Structure formats: structure tokens, C-alpha cells
Structure 1
Amino acid sequence: MAGNFIQPGDTMTFVAPYAVASGAGFMVGAMFAVALNAAAIGASVEGKINGVWTLPKATGEAWVAFTTKLYWDNTNKRLTSTASGNSYVGIAVQNQASGDTTGRARLNGVPA
């Protein structure tokens, strides 16, 4: 293996921008991740930047699997299909009804 390889990069260490629970989504700069451990604001938190996750969802929106682009609403700490003012983080992988409060998303692992 090349001597300059550091790590695969799908899990990164971040400084928690606010208190996060294990399994919660969070944004640091342009990067979205899901916390693998709980962390207080300013503490180190391991975050997974890709994969399929069940996360909080904006109600009033129906999602279509593999069609609906998803964005992180950092104010309300949930996924939404509304692009305006939010950061693109992935795509729905399961149909979700408008009344659902959580949804399954495949994170793209790319900075917003």
C-alpha cells in the first residue's frame, strides 16, 4: 500500500458544533455526518459521512425512493426535500409518507 495513505475516510473525527446524541445528524462546515457517539458542544465526536441511516424527517413531505434528493435543515436538525437554505446530503432509499417523522437516507459523503 502507498505510504501516504491515512485512512478510508468514511468515519471522521469532528468537533461537535452543538451537543449531539449518538445516531444524530450534524453539520460541521460543509460536511454532514451521523454521530457514532454522544458529545457535548466542542467535544470530539466520531461521525460517519456515508451509508444508509434512519434520521428525523420533515413532516408534510412525501419521499420517493431513489428519486427524492435530501437536504439537511440545520435549524430544525432534520432531513427535508427542500433545497432552499439547506445542504444537500443524500437521497431517499425508501418511500416515506408525508406524516412520517423519520426517513431512510443514503448519505452521499460529499461536502455540501
Structure 2
Amino acid sequence: MATNYVQAGDTLTIPAGADYLSGDVVIENEIIGVALGDAVTGNPVDVRTTGVFDVPKVGANAFAVGDPVYFDSDTSLATSTATDNTKIGVAVAAAAASTATVNVRLSGF
């Protein structure tokens, strides 16, 4: 193994830039993932940057498999609207407008 290897990077421990509950989407600059535990601002939070997560979504939005999924930090909901939102991944299952969540494969930027 390379002598400069640090870690796999699928889970990172970073300072929380906001208060997070376990399962919350975390966007810290270019780090995008899901909080694996609760954390208050400034304390360490473990963030999973890969995998598929069930994320609450805007009720009016529908997703087909493979559609891009964005996150609206103002509402804390996944959305199909790209403008002013951050891409967090792609839908891996269809989600009708009548459903409350969408299954998202994190893009692992």
C-alpha cells in the first residue's frame, strides 16, 4: 500500500458547520454526505459520503431512476430544481410526487 494512504474516504469526521441530526444531509463546501450521528455546530460529525439514502423531498417533485437530485438547504428537502441548489446524487428508484422521500445514491464528489 502507498505510504501516503490516509483512509478510504467513504466516512469523514469533520467539524459540523451547523447543528445536524443523524440522517441529515450535510453540505460543507464540497463535502456532501449524510450525518451518521447528531452534532452541534463546531463539534465533530461523522459524514458518510457514499451509499444510498432515503432523503425527504419536495412533495410536488417526481423522480425517475437516474434523475439528478438536488438539495435545497433552505427547506432541507431534496428537489428536482437545479437553480440555487446543490446536486447531491441521483435517484436509484422512481419516486412519485405523492411520496415523501427519494432514494438517492450520493455522488461522492
Please give the TM-score of this superposition, normalised by the length of structure 1. Answer: 0.92
Query: Partner residue of 1:74?
Result: 73
Query: Partner residue of 2:25?
Result: 25
Q: Which amino acid aligns with 2:98?
A: G
Shift of 1:7: 0.3
**Alpha-carbon distance in structure 2 between the residues aligned to 1:14 and 1:99:** 35
**Alpha-carbon distance in structure 2 between the residues aligned to 1:42 and 1:76:** 22
Identity %: 34
RMSD over aligned Cα atoms: 1.0
Query: Partner residue of 1:43?
Result: 43
The answer on whether the counterparts of 1:26 and 1:74 sit within 8 Å (CA) in structure 2 is no
Shift of 1:72: 1.3
Where do 5+ consecutive residues of structure 1 fail to align?
Answer: none
SS in 2 for 1:50: coil
| Correspondence 1:87 to 2:82 | no
Q: Quick check: 15-24 or 47-56, which moved more? A: 15-24
The answer on whether the counterparts of 1:26 and 1:77 sit within 8 Å (CA) in structure 2 is no
Number of residue pairs matched by the alignment: 109
Query: Partner residue of 1:54?
Result: 54
The answer on whether the counterparts of 1:70 and 1:92 sit within 8 Å (CA) in structure 2 is yes
Please give the TM-score of this superposition, normalised by the length of structure 2. Answer: 0.95
Where do 5+ consecutive residues of structure 2 fail to align?
Answer: none
Q: Please list the CA deviations of residues 35-75 of structure 1 after superposition, one character each: whole Å capped at 9, or x if unmatched.
A: 01110111110001111000111110110012x10111111
Q: Which amino acid aligns with 1:106?
A: R
Query: Partner residue of 2:64?
Result: 64
Query: Partner residue of 2:11?
Result: 11
